[in-house]
Copies of this chain bind each other. A is one copy, B any other.
Amino acid sequence: MFSKSTEYALRATIYIAQKSSEEHKVGLAEISAAIDSPPSFTAKILQALRKDNKIIRSVPGPNGGFYITEKAKNLPVHAILKVMGEDDVLNKCVLGLDKCSEAKPCPMHSEYKFIKAQLLELFDRKTILDLENDIKTGEVFIKNSRKK
């Protein structure tokens, strides 16, 4: 559904939410190990998220790293998707028509719109904090198995 970049962004943000605070930051190496993502590439993605200045923050130097404020944890997953430029993915027509709309629908539109609405609702409702809490229950995970 989403690009690799976005997948890493989501997993990394959840991990940072889970493990960091303003006092205790997490480093790139730990993050990419925890979510099993390529470190250098993850760095680029975290840079992008950081520049947005809304979701994650970072500090260089010893004991530096990434963190996320309690306030930012209340942001919906949709905020991450927006930064990663996935907004259009969710609004796109199944058949790829630019002008597909309620007024000029494609043959899939009338049925797909209800499903799309649920997707949008889910990503708007679910916050970073929600996902972090799910992890803490231990019933849920964000680490990929190492590829062979």
Interface residues of chain A, those whose CB is within 8 Å of chain B, are 1-2, 4, 7-8, 10-11, 14, 77, 89, 92, 94-99, 104-109, 111-112, 114-115, 118-119, 122, 126, 130-131, 134-135, 139-145
Q: How far is the CA of A4 from the CA of B112 in the complex (A)?
A: 18
Q: Give the residue name and chain of the B residue nearest to A8 (CB).
A: B96
Contact between B96 and A4 (Cβ–Cβ < 8 Å)?
A: yes
Question: What's the least CB distance linking A39 to chain B, in Å?
Answer: 16
How many copies the complex holds: the figure is 2
B139/A94 in contact, CB under 8 A: no
The 9 closest A-B pairs by CB, nearest first: A7-B96, A107-B134, A107-B131, A107-B140, A115-B118, A10-B95, A11-B95, A97-B144, A99-B145
Complex Cα gap A107–B15 (Å):
11
Apart from A106-B142, A107-B131, A107-B140, list 7 A-B contacts with CB within 8 A. Answer: A2-B96, A11-B95, A95-B142, A96-B144, A112-B122, A115-B122, A118-B118
Assembled-state Cα–Cα distance A112/B141 (Å): 15
Cβ contacts under 8 Å, A10 to chain B: 94-96
- 24 A-B pairs, CB-CB below 8 angstroms? A1-B1, A1-B94, A2-B94, A2-B96, A7-B95, A8-B96, A11-B95, A95-B142, A96-B144, A97-B141, A97-B143, A98-B144, A99-B145, A105-B140, A106-B140, A107-B130, A107-B134, A107-B142, A108-B122, A108-B131, A111-B122, A112-B122, A115-B119, A118-B118
